[in-house]
Amino acid sequence: MEMSSRLAQPGRLLRLAAWGLCLIPLALAGERAHDVTGAAKAIPEATFDRAPNRADSKSTRSRMSEEELAKEWSQARVFLSEHAPRRLKQIESIPGAPREVLKRSLVRGWRRVAELQSQSPELYATRVKEIELEDQVYGICFSLKHGRGDKAQLQSELKNSVRNLFDAGLTERQQRIAILDKAIKAQRESLDSDTKRKDQLIEERYHIVSTEGVEGAYFGSKHSRAGASPGTSKDPETEPDSESPLH
């Protein structure tokens, strides 16, 4: 009786769901050199495997209304039904409040993945492949756990899926490094350009500040960094690049 009452607690159901859904994908994520430590981060990372960074949009971090959740869950559900059907089925079998918590987390994760589609189609395709492979791993482990199918064949399939998932993780990291290399190259070119035109830019900014007064010199203004030089990048502290695919 006491055990039943414990299992009935929403928090306990949520932890059990996270553990059941995510143990294997989390272990694989660790092998792919991501800092995932324990089941506390399990649900969003199990399906999407990426935590939000500071470049995430305000809407991603803000609390969704019930109407927003219902609308976006319907879109996320279409994605999950195509790319992670096994875990979607398990999630939808969870009763009550814990399921709603999972849905909110999954919607946030789905948003981050969906944004990649326009930002970096290649990286998006890799992330989708990883999600599909993680779902395969989950399905095979579920079958092994419950004695469904030929054990030797399932173990062979599991090893192959793990290998493919690891390879996809390497590809993703290569793509992210390439994106960073491109950004660094652009920054270096901008720095070289501004350095060569240093005297000219100083005169331009002096003119702006002397004309507009103190208001022309405040931190983060269009005159302090980016605005005075077409080649200069955004100030990362005042103008975060919401289009960055490194989510």
Amino acid at 61: R
Say yes or no to pLDDT of 216 above 90.
Answer: no
pLDDT grade for 213, boundaries at 50, 70 and 90: low
- C-alpha span between 131 and 216 (Å, rounded): 48
- Per 3-state DSSP, what percentage of the chain is helix, strand, and coil (rounded to 5)? 75, 0, 25
Residue 100: its pLDDT value, please? 87
Residue 8: its pLDDT value, please? 46
pLDDT grade for 148, boundaries at 50, 70 and 90: very high
- C-alpha span between 21 and 19 (Å, rounded): 6
* Alpha-carbon torsion angle 236, 239, 245, 246, nearest 10: 30
Residue 212: its pLDDT value, please? 75
Q: What is the DSSP string of the chain?
A: -HHHHHHTSHHHHHHHHHHHHHHHHHHHHHHTT----SGGGHHHHHHT-----TTS-HHHHSPPPHHHHHHHHHHHHHHHHHH-HHHHHHHHTS-HHHHHHHHHHHHHHHHHHHHHHHH-HHHHHHHHHHHHHHHHHHHHHHHHHTT-S-HHHHHHHHHHHHHHHHHHHHHHHHHHHHHHHHHHHHHHHHHHHHHHTHHHHHHHHHHHHHHHGGGGGSTT-TTTSGGG-TTPPPPTTTS--TT-S--
DSSP-based three-state secondary structure for 47: helix
**Residue 16 vs residue 182, higher pLDDT:** 182
The rounded mean pLDDT for the chain is: 74
Residue 220: its pLDDT value, please? 55
**Residue 198 vs residue 13, higher pLDDT:** 198
Residue 209: its pLDDT value, please? 81
**Residue 7 vs residue 215, higher pLDDT:** 215
Share of the chain above pLDDT 70, in %: 60
Residue 218: its pLDDT value, please? 55
Q: What is the CA radius of gyration of the chain?
A: 24
Taking residues 126-142, report their average pLDDT.
96
Share of the chain above pLDDT 90, in %: 45
Residue 48: its pLDDT value, please? 53
Q: Which of 21-25, 29-33, 91-95 has the highest mean pLDDT?
A: 91-95
Say yes or no to pLDDT of 80 above 70.
Answer: yes
**Residue 247 vs residue 32, higher pLDDT:** 247
Residue 198: its pLDDT value, please? 95
pLDDT grade for 219, boundaries at 50, 70 and 90: low
Say yes or no to pLDDT of 243 above 60.
Answer: no
Residue 120: its pLDDT value, please? 94
Residue 67: its pLDDT value, please? 84
Residue 132: its pLDDT value, please? 96
